[in-house]
């Protein structure tokens, strides 16, 4: 423990300020300097995890290798830092209180009064140290912990107190605090105002935390006068006031931080070895995103399209897949309910280079998805189905090719006699929703000679899952006889993992969520293949930039 350094990221003034991206960017910056960095998210909400949260409220539920349903910020950490998070990487107030109450019920506090301090705060600190000392983290040089919410929130106070105490536990030289704040512009002259940040830091200092660094989210450059004012009133050195302007791509932020001296500042403050940053690979990634030579348009059908974060990993996976081809991938999200009402789906899809049908729950918008998939299948439009998207592809094929007119899903029509998609065996009687799905990384055996094998360059892969319905094993034979290629199955051959069509330039779907493992430097093979196929699609000219 004594060799590990700790950086705590807090946020002020407004929520959704970009702490997650700031944390991920900081992690990338330190990774570029050769440090072993482990991220962690401390979320003050009472939910045990993000699994039961509405995507409209909270955005995407990100799933880790070990099956934790977490906040979408863990997706940022994984993509930027190229690390795998775990159940230990996500600490919620719900988890903490659940642990403490269990200990109290078991008599572990010896009859003492259980209080926020020290019992809740001790449990928070113990959870941070548990991740630090986990065998999967390989003795980290630095743990970066982001605290969810905004300074002043009542529910975050136990977490703030815990990280305040942490400095005394591990030593001042091993712990630092970074505060991400918003610098607004007001009035007809867009005058920059520092007062909200000053008050945010005052609130932080009332708790007993003095920030070592201010990251200032701003639309305009901060003058020397503004920097000096923030330095004076917030009691941080001027070089520790880091301007964070809106950029073309968030993947450029680590390079911006490095240019502004944040890497050197952190290494000095924490007495870390001075290492020259190796930024070239990351610079090339940013260059490919910011200066594409061509552009494709992909239609994506989803249920939660009103929240831009609901399908965050799919969006980022498309960006990653465009990097090797210097291609900008523009996604047009289509509400599944609206496509249900469309009378001209073929005409509508004729302006796109590819189609994605994404994950979701419930029967709303299913008919429109089936019609869109049928159009892609018949008209050779490149298609990728994910989770529910794969299930819809199987139902469409069973209906229109295999002649099973009543083909459906148990989720949509539980009374049907032709449930091509049904409950995972053993889950029929589950009465609770949280953590009750097939979650995390599972192995898939890929059939030789298939598109899946060509894309993955392997016959055994692992991908992450989040679902409670499967293709009904009883229908696998009739689907295969009618030339639907079941190209990936579970090791025992009973669960359908990947399906594809041989007589189609690119028609593939997976029960898994490949978007959760995509990285800027290692795009998901299924998305990479989709972009390549879209670039070859001749019906719509590819735009040059």
Please state, rounded to an integer, the average pLDDT across all residues of the chain: 92
Q: Does residue 47 form part of some domain?
A: yes
Residue with tokens 């994910």: 386
Q: Pinpoint the alpha helices (H) of 171-310.
A: 195-207, 224-234, 253-259, 262-269, 280-290
Q: Does residue 455 form part of some domain?
A: no
Average pLDDT score over residue span 107-113: 92
Give the pLDDT score at 327. 97
Give the pLDDT score at 2. 58
261 and 191 belong to one structural domain: yes
Query: Which entry of 175, 387, 392, 402 is annotated as an active-site residue?
Result: 387
User: Taking 90 as the threshold, does the pLDDT of residue 134 lie above it?
Assistant: no
The packing angle between helices 121-132 and 157-170, to 10°, is 60
Output the six-digit token pair for 506. 């690119």
Q: Does residue 58 form part of some domain?
A: yes
Residue 169 class from Cβ within 10 Å (0-12 exposed, 13-18 middle, 19+ buried)? middle
341 and 247 belong to one structural domain: no
Give the pLDDT score at 433. 56
- Strands 185-186 and 294-302, bridge-based pairing: unpaired
Q: Does residue 534 form part of some domain?
A: yes
What percentage of residues in the chain have a pLDDT greater than 70? 97
Active site residue 175: no
At 269, which CATH number?
Answer: 3.40.50.300
217 and 366 belong to one structural domain: no
Give the pLDDT score at 1. 44
Give the pLDDT score at 384. 98
136 and 194 belong to one structural domain: yes
- Of the three residues 234, 251, 284, the one that is the final residue of a domain is 284
527 and 386 belong to one structural domain: yes
Q: Does residue 462 form part of some domain?
A: no
- Determine the Cα–Cα distance for residues 89 and 99; give it in Å rounded to an integer: 16
Q: Does residue 430 form part of some domain?
A: no
Q: Does residue 444 form part of some domain?
A: no
Could you count the other beta carbons within 10 Å of the beta carbon of residue 445?
16
- Of the three residues 284, 303, 318, the one that is the final residue of a domain is 284
223 and 366 belong to one structural domain: no
User: Taking 80 as the threshold, does the pLDDT of residue 363 lie above it?
Assistant: no
- Strands 543-544 and 294-302, bridge-based pairing: antiparallel
User: Taking 80 as the threshold, does the pLDDT of residue 30 lie above it?
Assistant: yes
User: Taking 70 as the threshold, does the pLDDT of residue 108 lie above it?
Assistant: yes
Q: In this predicted model, what pLDDT tens digit does every residue of 268-325 receive, in sequence order?
A: 999 999 899 999 999 999 999 999 999 999 999 988 777 778 899 999 999 999 999 9
Q: In this predicted model, what pLDDT tens digit does every residue of 205-245 receive, in sequence order?
A: 999 999 999 999 999 899 999 999 999 999 999 999 999 99
Output the six-digit token pair for 7. 């950086």
Could you count the other beta carbons within 10 Å of the beta carbon of residue 257?
22
- Of the three residues 239, 258, 284, the one that is the final residue of a domain is 284
Domain that holds residue 214: 5-284
Query: Which entry of 119, 375, 465, 513 is annotated as an active-site residue?
Result: 513
SS3 408: strand
Higher pLDDT, 171 or 424: 171
Give the pLDDT score at 427. 55
209 and 172 belong to one structural domain: yes
Active site residue 513: yes
State how many domains the chain has: 2
57-61-63 Cα angle (round to 5): 170
User: Taking 60 as the threshold, does the pLDDT of residue 459 lie above it?
Assistant: yes
- Determine the Cα–Cα distance for residues 431 and 184; give it in Å rounded to an integer: 47
Active site residue 341: no
Least trusted range by pLDDT, from 117-121, 363-367, 440-444, 452-456: 363-367
171 and 251 belong to one structural domain: yes
185 and 234 belong to one structural domain: yes
pLDDT class for 29, splitting at 50, 70, 90? very high
Give the pLDDT score at 428. 52
Average pLDDT score over residue span 86-106: 96
User: Taking 80 as the threshold, does the pLDDT of residue 106 lie above it?
Assistant: yes
Give the pLDDT score at 188. 81
- Determine the Cα–Cα distance for residues 27 and 320; give it in Å rounded to an integer: 19
186 and 307 belong to one structural domain: no
Higher pLDDT, 145 or 433: 145
pLDDT class for 335, splitting at 50, 70, 90? confident
User: Taking 80 as the threshold, does the pLDDT of residue 475 lie above it?
Assistant: yes
Higher pLDDT, 113 or 188: 113
Give the pLDDT score at 425. 67
At 309, which CATH number?
Answer: 3.40.50.880
228 and 316 belong to one structural domain: no
Half-sphere exposure of 474 (CA within 13 A, CB side): 8
Contact 384, 526 (CB under 8 A): yes
User: Taking 80 as the threshold, does the pLDDT of residue 7 lie above it?
Assistant: yes
Q: Does residue 451 form part of some domain?
A: no
Give the pLDDT score at 309. 86
325 and 182 belong to one structural domain: no
């Amino acid at each position: 423990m004594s060799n590990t350094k700790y950086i705590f990221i807090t946020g002020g003034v407004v929520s959704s300020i970009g702490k997650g991206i700031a944390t991920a960017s900081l992690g990338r910056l330190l990774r570029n300097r050769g440090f072993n960095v482990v991220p962690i998210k401390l979320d003050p909400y009472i939910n045990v995890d993000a699994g039961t949260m509405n995507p409209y409220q909270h955005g995407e539920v990100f799933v880790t290798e070990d099956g934790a349903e977490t906040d979408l910020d863990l997706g940022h950490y994984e993509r930027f830092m190229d690390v795998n998070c775990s159940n230990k990487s996500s600490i919620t107030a719900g988890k903490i209180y659940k642990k403490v109450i269990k200990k109290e019920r078991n008599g572990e506090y010896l009859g003492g009064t259980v209080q926020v301090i020290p019992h809740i705060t001790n449990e928070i600190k113990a959870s941070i140290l548990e991740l630090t000392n986990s065998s999967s983290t390989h003795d980290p040089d630095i743990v970066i912990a982001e605290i969810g919410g905004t300074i002043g929130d009542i529910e975050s106070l136990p977490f703030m107190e815990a990280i305040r105490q942490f400095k005394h536990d591990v030593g001042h030289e091993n712990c630092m605090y970074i505060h991400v704040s918003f610098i607004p512009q007001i009035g007809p002259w867009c005058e920059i105002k520092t007062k909200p940040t000053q008050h945010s830091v005052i609130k932080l200092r009332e708790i007993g935390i003095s920030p070592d660094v201010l990251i200032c989210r701003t639309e305009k450059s901060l003058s020397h006068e503004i920097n000096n004012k923030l330095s004076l009133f917030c009691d941080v050195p001027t070089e520790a006031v880091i301007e964070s302007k809106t950029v073309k791509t968030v993947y450029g932020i680590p390079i911006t931080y490095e240019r502004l001296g944040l890497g050197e500042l952190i290494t000095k403050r924490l007495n870390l070895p001075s290492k020259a940053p190796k930024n070239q690979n990351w610079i090339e990634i940013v260059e490919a995103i910011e200066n594409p030579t061509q552009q494709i348009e992909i239609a994506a059908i989803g249920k939660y399209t009103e929240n831009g974060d609901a399908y965050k990993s799919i969006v980022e996976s498309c960006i990653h897949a465009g990097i090797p081809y210097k291609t900008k991938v523009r996604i047009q999200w289509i509400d599944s309910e609206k496509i249900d009402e469309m009378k001209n789906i073929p005409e509508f899809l004729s302006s796109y280079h590819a189609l994605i049908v994404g994950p979701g729950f419930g029967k709303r918008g299913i008919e429109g998805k089936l019609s869109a998939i049928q159009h892609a299948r018949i008209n050779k439009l490149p298609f990728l189905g994910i989770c529910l998207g794969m299930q819809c592809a199987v139902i469409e094929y069973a209906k229109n090719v295999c002649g099973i007119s009543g083909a459906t899903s148990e989720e949509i029509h539980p009374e049907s006699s032709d449930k091509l998609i049904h409950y995972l065996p053993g889950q029929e009687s589950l009465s609770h929703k949280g953590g009750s799905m097939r979650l995390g990384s599972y192995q898939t055996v890929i059939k030789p000679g298939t598109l899946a094998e060509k894309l993955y360059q392997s016959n055994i892969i692992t991908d992450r899952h989040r679902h409670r319905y499967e293709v009904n094993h009883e229908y696998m034979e009739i689907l295969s006889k009618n030339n639907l290629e079941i190209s990936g199955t579970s090791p025992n051959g009973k669960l359908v993992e990947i399906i594809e069509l041989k007589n189609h330039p690119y028609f593939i779907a997976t029960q898994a969520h490949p978007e959760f493992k995509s990285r800027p430097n290692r795009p998901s093979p299924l998305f990479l293949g989709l972009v390549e196929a879209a670039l070859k699609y001749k019906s719509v000219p590819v735009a040059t930039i």
